[in-house]
């Protein structure tokens, strides 16, 4: 039975079709939260209790608003939607901030290639400028935001992998599965406990 003191929310997830997206879905459902996964094709996904799918994207503010509708918090896996593309990260962040400004949603976790904030010398001036614009945009918004460095994805891990972590797995699959599951648990902890607003985090697991 769920502790009545634990807040229950409906999480809108952009980038749900990634391995980290699958880990987040399993972690959220295990804590009895609801999940709205924003995807590009409804036919590829089977319904599950507590998990809802809707068509959407982050092309502009209207799409972001429509995708987030009905939620109480948002996680956007920018690095899953546009791997290594910092200009796309900036554009999707702009759409999200503008779209969420039209809603009552305030909690927002952005997962992207934000290592540029830790090691700017490894990136071009244009790439640094993209992330600086994202940070400035968020700081001027009224959102309860957190930036999270992309934890290193492992393509091909689905919901069933994370639901059955006790099974026999090949070593090259078991390690990234455990790592992404721990990252997902940490992200959900942040939402439940209202931690790390306005911060930039790197999960070390």
Q: Rounded to the nearest 5°, which phi and psi values hold at 85?
A: -105, 90
The pLDDT of residue 1 is 45
Average pLDDT per block of 10 residues along the chain, 205 residues long: 67 97 97 96 88 96 97 97 97 98 98 95 96 98 98 90 74 89 97 96 90
The pLDDT of residue 166 is 63
Q: Rounded to the nearest 5°, which phi and psi values hold at 117?
A: -75, -25
The pLDDT of residue 184 is 98
Rounded CA-CA distance 116/124 in Å is: 9
CB within 8 Å of 33: residues ≥ 6 apart: 8, 9, 10, 11, 50, 188
- 3-state helix, strand and coil shares in percent for the chain, rounded to the nearest 5: 45, 20, 35
The pLDDT of residue 157 is 92
Q: What is the pTM of this model?
A: 0.94
CB within 8 Å of 76: residues ≥ 6 apart: 14, 15, 58, 92, 93, 96, 108, 109, 110, 111
Angle value at C-alpha 119, between 116 and 120, nearest 5 degrees: 60
Rounded CA-CA distance 66/193 in Å is: 27
């Amino acid at each position: 039975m769920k502790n009545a003191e634990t807040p229950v929310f409906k999480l809108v997830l952009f980038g749900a079709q990634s391995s980290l997206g699958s880990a987040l879905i399993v972690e959220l459902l295990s804590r009895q939260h609801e999940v709205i996964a924003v995807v590009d094709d409804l036919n590829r996904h089977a319904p599950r209790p507590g998990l809802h799918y809707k068509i959407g994207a982050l092309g502009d503010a209207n799409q972001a608003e429509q995708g987030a509708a009905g939620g109480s918090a948002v996680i956007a896996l920018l690095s899953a939607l546009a791997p290594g593309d910092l200009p796309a990260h900036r554009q999707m962040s702009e759409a999200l901030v503008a779209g969420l400004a039209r809603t009552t949603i305030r909690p927002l976790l952005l997962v992207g290639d934000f290592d540029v904030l830790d090691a700017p010398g490894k990136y071009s001036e244009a790439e640094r400028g993209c992330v600086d614009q994202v940070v400035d945009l968020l700081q001027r918004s009224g959102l309860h935001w957190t930036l999270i460095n992309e934890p290193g994805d492992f393509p091909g891990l689905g919901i069933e992998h994370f639901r059955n972590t006790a099974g026999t797995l090949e070593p090259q699959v078991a390690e990234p599965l455990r790592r992404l599951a721990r990252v997902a648990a940490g992200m959900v902890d942040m939402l439940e406990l209202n931690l790390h607003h306005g911060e930039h985090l790197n999960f070390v697991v």
